[in-house]
Structure 1
Amino acid sequence: MTKQSAAPRRGADSVGTEVAGRVADVLLLFAGGPRYLGVSAISRELGISKAVVHRILRSLVSREMLETDPGTQGYRLGPAAVALGVSALRGFDVRSAAAPVLRRLRDETGETAALSGLVGDQRVYLDQFESPQEIKMTVEVGRRFPLHAGSSGRVILAFLPPERREAVLAGPLAALTGGTLTDRAVLRERLAETAREGVAVSLGERQADAASVAAPLFGPDGEVHGSISVCGPRYRFTPEAVERYRALVKDAAEEVRHNRAWLRESAPSSA
């Protein structure tokens, strides 16, 4: 009797896990993709039926995780999802540790200073201090980007453990601009160079008219957790400016790494 009653429960658990996974996949599409998505696009991207997608969307809308937009006949993130995102960002202790450093980096360079965090095999902007200049670059906090495109991602990728780095390189390497590095042999050479120099430079790799310089951000555990960068219009990133920014972002990342607030919050509990 015990064995017979256990089997249905395992089956139910499996189905529940699959459903939860699909719901999470739908939400992640909104986090890393277009602002608006329709049933057909979600179905095509995830390889699940439109009927299943529609049921998931209805459930998420009822909980205000998503909301409909009559003008586009699509869906977008709702107020509950935004509240979760804000709560999650508030929990990143590194943001508090990095804030004064980013502000000073912005003032020293006159360009936007940004903090990126490693999330899975991608990165996400966690914070920024915008340039005071009229023509400037701003970043989309909370949006995910691939690690191979741009200095902020490449400098993280260069310092990942070899097996994890190779797993990323084995996956798709989308060309976001004509300057995005997608040739794996060339990318490996650039990653090796980045690891030697401790800094990465991007000139139009993620956005055609933008440039950036980034340094890896290591945590108290010695692992790479993200990056610190300055970014702005490409025409202002002259060789002289880039050389100056190299030293500034490296110093900024090192300062954040040794910030006592981050060290204290990241320390394991003795309880």
Structure 2
Amino acid sequence: MPRSPSTDKAGLTSVRNALSVLNLLSDGVELRVVDVARSLGVAVSTAHRLMATLVEEGFLRQSPNSRRYLVGPAALRLGRAVSYEQTLRRFARPYLQTLCRELNETINLQILVGADVYFLLSAEDRHQLRVAQREGSRLPARATAGGKVLLAAIGDPVSAGWGSDMRIELTQVRSNGYAVNLSDVDDSVRAIAVPVREPDGECLAALSLAAPTVRLPDVRLPLVLTALQRAATEIGRDYAGKWSPTG
């Protein structure tokens, strides 16, 4: 049965109110239900239901002493995720720029978002014929070299619903420590990617080079792979040494 416009409007209002509550708490203050009701211009009973839902989902918590509401663990995790991306981007940028100048090809830093790979950062080369940077875009993870590296890093992909061919390929990627992609997205582009790991082995991201197929023949792959692995190690070490998710 199709939803009515009034139902959709009510749902959007609830979402807007929930976001407003989180904004009210963003400065670390504690709020009572009546404070929230007054700020949103709604009945106390409505504010109470909203707060109870946010507590249930982990976005708010209630102080055992004052019974006021504070930011919950789910909201804190979301904030740390944003901080993680910003921090990783900041630490990785000079390495991508150096690698781009050294190899004169487009370099990408990617993270996994669901079944997609998200291009967190790119450095584009200056060739007239080049692979354009994809910073801020998403592609299916299984169709990119960086995505395959990240999928291989999370373990057995059976639960993700991949077929046997993909499982075999990801097992090989995990064994090799890198992935090479040809023609999965663009038949004129070839890419090679390696994992970016912290010293303890935790995979942070994938570092990849993408180039026109004619400029990335098999004979060039060992040199590119060595440069990518060196930069990935430096990024992981730099990130681990200068930032803590609880800091």
- The aligned counterpart of 1:198 is 177
Q: Take 2:244 and 2:109, find their aligned partners in 1: how far apart are those partners? A: 18
- The aligned counterpart of 1:149 is 143
- The aligned counterpart of 1:264 is 242
Deviation for aligned residue 1:144: 2.3
Deviation for aligned residue 1:106: 0.7
Q: Take 1:100 and 1:57, find their aligned partners in 2: how far apart are those partners? A: 44
Q: 1:267 to 1:135 in 2, by over 3 A?
A: same
CA root-mean-square deviation: 3.1
For residues 72-107 of structure 1, what are the alpha-carbon distances to aligned partners after superposition, in whole Å with 9 as ceiling and x for unaligned?
A: xxxxxxxxxxxxxxxx58952111111111111111
Matches of residues 116-131 of structure 1 in structure 2 within 5 Å?
A: 116-131=110-125
What's the % identity of the aligned pairs? 23
For residues 105-149 of structure 1, what are the alpha-carbon distances to aligned partners after superposition, in whole Å with 9 as ceiling and x for unaligned?
A: 111211001110122343200111101111111233222222211
**Residue 245 (str. 1) matches residue 224 (str. 2):** yes
Aligned to 1:206, the other structure's residue is in SS state coil
CA contact (8 A) 1:220 1:266 kept: no
CA contact (8 A) 1:220 1:263 kept: no
Q: Take 1:237 and 1:207, find their aligned partners in 2: how far apart are those partners? A: 14
Q: Take 1:232 and 1:52, find their aligned partners in 2: how far apart are those partners? A: 51
CA contact (8 A) 2:91 2:235 kept: yes
Off by >4 Å, runs of 4+ in structure 1: 47-59, 88-91
Aligned to 2:117, the other structure's residue is in SS state strand
- The aligned counterpart of 2:207 is 228
Deviation for aligned residue 1:161: 2.8
- The aligned counterpart of 1:70 is none
Q: Take 1:93 and 1:118, find their aligned partners in 2: how far apart are those partners? A: 16
- The aligned counterpart of 2:87 is 93
State which structure, 1 or 2, has the greater radius of gyration over its C-alpha atoms.
2
Q: 1:253 to 1:153 in 2, by over 3 A?
A: same
- The aligned counterpart of 1:136 is 130
Structure 1: runs of 5+ lacking an equivalent: 1-46, 63-87, 172-183
For residues 147-200 of structure 1, what are the alpha-carbon distances to aligned partners after superposition, in whole Å with 9 as ceiling and x for unaligned?
A: 2111010011111132xx2222x06xxxxxxxxxxxx22222221221111111
Q: Take 1:166 and 1:211, find their aligned partners in 2: how far apart are those partners? A: 27
CA contact (8 A) 2:196 2:205 kept: yes
Q: Take 2:245 and 2:181, find their aligned partners in 1: how far apart are those partners? A: 34
CA contact (8 A) 2:181 2:191 kept: yes
Say how many residue pairs are matched. 183
Match of 1:159 among 126, 135, 153: 153
Q: Take 2:7 and 2:137, find their aligned partners in 1: how far apart are those partners? A: 22
TM-score under structure 2 normalisation? 0.64
Aligned to 1:266, the other structure's residue is in SS state coil
